[in-house]
Amino acid sequence: MECDDKNCWIHGNTRIRGQIIIGKVVSAKARKTVIVERPLIKYIRKYKRYARARAKIPAHNPPCINAKEGDIVKIGETRRISRTKSWIVCEVIKRGEE
Residue-wise pLDDT for 27-39, tens only, equals: 999 999 999 999 9
Whether the per-residue pLDDT at 2 is higher than 80: the answer is no
pLDDT on residue 3: 83
Measured CA angle at 43 (ends 37, 46), to 5 deg: 140
Segment holding 73, helix H or strand E: strand 72-77
User: What residue ranges define each of the domains in the chain, with the CATH number in brackets?
Assistant: 20-94 (2.40.50.1000)
pLDDT by residue (tens digit) across 57-72?
A: 999 999 999 999 999 9
